[in-house]
Structure formats: C-alpha cells, structure tokens
Amino acid sequence: MQFIQFLLGKQFLTPKTPKEMVYIPSIKLMIVLIERLFKQIDEIVTINFANTMDLEIANIFCDLVEIKNFSRTAEMHGISQSAVSQQLAQLEMAHNTQLINRKKRPLELTEPGQVFYHGCKDLLERYNQINSELAALGKTKCRINLASIFSIGMHTLQAYIKKFMKIYPDVNLSVEYLDAKDIYAQLLKGSIDIGVVALPKQDRNVMVYPFENEPLALVCSPGRSFAALERIDIHQLQGEKFIAFSQNVPTRHHIDGILKRYSVSVQIMMEFDNIETIKRAIEIKSGVSILPLPSIQAEVSNGTLTVVELSNEHFFRPTGVIIQKGHPLNKAGQYLLELMQNETGAEL
C-alpha cells in the first residue's frame, strides 16, 4: 500500500491509532483500479516494482523502444546516455532476460522485450487514467455553498463571483438566495459555507467579516417632483407615501432608524420583503423609498427609476460575510472570503 501511495502521490490511509487505519473517501474505487492493473501486468510479466523498477524507468524504457536511440532518449529525459544503458541493464538483470537486441540498428526488441514493452505501456496508460480520475474526483469534491439575501446576491455580489470563477473555474460554487433568518439557520446547520447579509448581527457561533457599505438614496419614479432635484433634505420626506421593506427584514429597521433620528414620519403604503417588488411599486408611482444604490443601477440606466441624493449625511447600509466558527473554509472558500474583504473598504 505504501508503494501504491508513492506511485500516485496520494495518501489513501489515515492513521487513527497505532493498530487501526481508516480509508479516506474514494479509496475503494482506487484500490479496485490498482488491483486490476497489477493483476493484468502480473499475467504478462512478473515485475518487482518496489525493488527493480519505478514508473520513470518504465517510461524511459518505452521511449527508448519507440525512439530506438540511446542518446536521444537520454536527452529527452535530461539524463546521460550511460544512465539509460545502466537502467536497461538493471531491468534485464532483474528479469534474467535480454529485452533489447543492441547489435541491431535500429534497436530491436527481443520476444521477452515485446511482452515487457506492452506491459509497461499498459501500466503507464492506466496510471495516467487513474491520475485523471483522481483529479476529477478532487474537482467534484471542491464545492462551496453560498447563500445571500436577494438584493446583495443579484447585484453587489455578481462582480466578486466573476472574479472568483476566473481563478477557480473548476470549483462548484452554489449560490442560493434566502432571507437573512434562513441564512443564519442554514449556516449553523452546516448546510452552507458562506453567508452574505445586510446589517450582520453578532452571534457567538458566527464569524462576521465586513463587506460592502452600500450607499442609500431616495428612489422615485421619473414623474415625481423629487425627480427633478439632484439632492433633497431628508425632512422633505415628511408625510410622503413610502414603499417599505417588511418588518422582518433588517434593512427595514435600519431605514426606520434613520427616519426616526431625523424625526421624519412617512406614510407606509406597502411592505415587501423583496427589493424587486419594491422597485416595481415605485415605478407605478405608488410611493417613494430609500434603497441601496447597487440594487437599482439597471432601472436608473433604462430610465424607469430616478435617484435623488439625501443631503443630510452619507447614508449607507452595512453588509457582511458570515461563516460558522470552528468550520474552516477550504482553500477556494478562503480565497473567496479574502477577495470579498480585500476589494472593499467597509467597516462594521
């Protein structure tokens, strides 16, 4: 088993106690493949790989047979011509038979050499196949489950996902849109690896990392009187018809807090937990709202919504990335987390 691990460059057994070994996932498949490989090779020619030969020597032997030239084979492998000759001599001594007729030009295989050559070719082909299957298994195992609230996931997060996929194109990145309450629940259950939320709350089981501070502004339909202004005082919203987030959405409490701080009362006409529905209501002139700017870029570009800056201060919505404490991310997940931190200057 140690030799098999050496050949494939993988560790298939994990020590648990001095007398107990545990197979890691997918080892059964690998064992079956390797057993079939060695069984077939043994039927062709008995080779003591541990003592007389490794895959590199097999590869050199096959190249020598195909190139039919010692010096060119040596050059291909970056070794001396005498080293190639010595390796061939060691193989012949180990099996007590001549494999190549050196007197013939170009070089010719003897009958035992033919058997040995085809066995080595089969071994190398199967080795490459096993390596490919191992690589494929590694790729399918590398998965990141991410959940985000809709307004961040559909807008702010997209640029980060594109950058991430350029570096890790083979990672299976699953992105799901949930409300904040469900994101925390799924994270603590271990169903997701990374969560992205607005107004992240402190939890002893959750690590919080700052993400974007999304600017907030007044949003109205182009036909409203506010639309002609570049900026307004927040007090001008007093008594206005307002389209709000639902009470269970953290952003609702954040915006309510801003209005309360400035002693502004608005008429709540409709409440929605989905920012897309809020935008549709504003478009049909049901009221105005205060929304994060990244979520309305498309509507502003096509002229269905208008943004008016609030002049009193720089209002924003803090967002954060959350992971479960004690559950470290894999390499790709750690890169995504660092990317989302390094690309922003947000502070919580």
pLDDT of residue 7: 45
For the chain, 348 residues long, the average pLDDT of each consecutive 10-residue run is: 47 48 54 60 43 73 91 90 89 90 88 92 87 65 90 93 93 94 95 97 93 97 93 97 96 98 98 95 96 96 96 97 92 94 59
Q: What is the pLDDT of residue 53?
A: 53
Amino acid of residue 115: V
Instruction: Report the alpha-carbon distance of residue 88 to residue 61 in Å, rounded.
Output: 7
**The pTM is what?**
0.60
Token pair in block for residue 15: 């020590």
N residues, the chain? 348
Calpha distance 39→293 (Å, rounded)? 66
* Upper half-sphere CA count for residue 196 (Cβ side, 13 Å): 26
Query: With pLDDT > 70 as the criterion, what percentage of the chain qualifies?
Result: 81
pLDDT at 152: 95
CA distances from 156 to 216, 226, 282, 327 (A): 14, 26, 21, 25
- For the purposes of burial, counting CB atoms within 10 Å of the CB of 344, is it exposed (0-12), middle (13-18) or buried (19 or more)? middle
Ordered domains of the chain (ranges, CATH): 2-139 (1.10.10.10), 143-208+322-342 (3.40.190.10), 212-317 (3.40.190.290)
Kindly report each contact of residues 164-172 with a partner whose C-beta sits within 8 Å and lies 24 or more positions away, as own/partner: 164/332, 164/335, 164/336, 164/339, 167/335, 168/142, 168/332, 168/335, 170/139, 170/142, 171/139, 171/142, 171/143, 171/144, 171/332, 172/140, 172/142, 172/143, 172/144
Strand partners, 61: none
- HSE-CB of 343 using CA atoms within 13 angstroms: 17
Residue 271, beta-bridge partner list: 244
The tokens describing 317, both together, are: 């919505």
